[in-house]
A and B are shown apart, each in its own frame.
Chain A
Amino acid sequence: NAGVTQTPKFRILKIGQSMTLQCTQDMNHNYMYWYRQDPGMGLKLIYYSVGAGITDKGEVPNGYNVSRSTTEDFPLRLELAAPSQTSVYFCASSYSVSGYEQYFGPGTRLTVT
């Protein structure tokens, strides 16, 4: 099992550009999450999904969009990138939302200049 994979690993965007961060898991988990981690800080939840076709906002959803068309994939879309979106983005998945460990992908380091 590859677990949770993310692409790309690094990306530099110019202000106003858009991009999609890819996330795939092969553990057949229904629950998937997107977090961002700013330098020296904890992780903040952007969006989460409890299954294909169902998504909901987390703590910091502004400037992002998600979709979940399959169990395996949970892409994160950045529209009109801003310097405040410079961060490391982690995708995670879990078997269930309550009381189950989350498995994290390796992260995408994004810089917006």
Chain B
Amino acid sequence: QQPVQSPQAVILREGEDAVINCSSSKALYSVHWYRQKHGEAPVFLMILLKGGEQKGHEKISASFNEKKQQSSLYLTASQLSYSGTYFCGTERVWHSGGGADGLTFGKGTHLIIQP
């Protein structure tokens, strides 16, 4: 089942902060975050794993609440280059304990940074 992202769109001034949320009704093994600029491929930002491990870019921060199956991406002191659409992708817990069949992506959050 597709994770739900909120908000659908955000407009910020350069230097402001934003939080993008992703929630799922399924038990999750991991949450992935990607950013996509118009006409380009998605680019990896971060993975948050069940159990607390995180992998990703140092300048990006995120959290994963395993009890609520929710993740949040924190964008601080936003720059013009942060503009784009942010997608969360979720891996559900498989019978073996890990993810098994690829990512299910949310519909995305459009982020516009104005000078």
Q: Which residues of A contact B (CB under 8 A)?
A: 33, 35, 40-45, 48, 56, 58-59, 90, 97-107
Contacts and interface: CB of A to CB of B under 8 A. Distances in A.
Interface of B: 2, 29-30, 32, 40-44, 47, 49, 53, 55, 87, 89, 91, 98-108
A98 B93 CA distance: 10
The DSSP consensus for interface residues of chain A is: loop
Top 7 A-B residue pairs of the complex, sorted by shortest distance between their CB atoms:
A98-B98, A42-B105, A104-B41, A101-B44, A98-B99, A43-B105, A42-B107
B42 A43 contact: yes
A56 B106 CA distance: 21
Given A42-B108, A101-B47, A104-B42, 17 more contacts: A33-B103, A42-B105, A42-B106, A43-B42, A43-B89, A45-B101, A48-B101, A48-B102, A97-B98, A97-B101, A98-B30, A98-B91, A99-B47, A99-B55, A99-B98, A99-B99, A102-B44
Contacts of A104: 41-43
Contacts, number: 70
A90 B44 CA distance: 14
Among B43, B53, B87, B102, residue most surrounded by chain A Cβ atoms (within 10 Å): B102
Contacts of A42: 2, 87, 105-108
Contacts of A35: 105
A60 B10 CA distance: 30
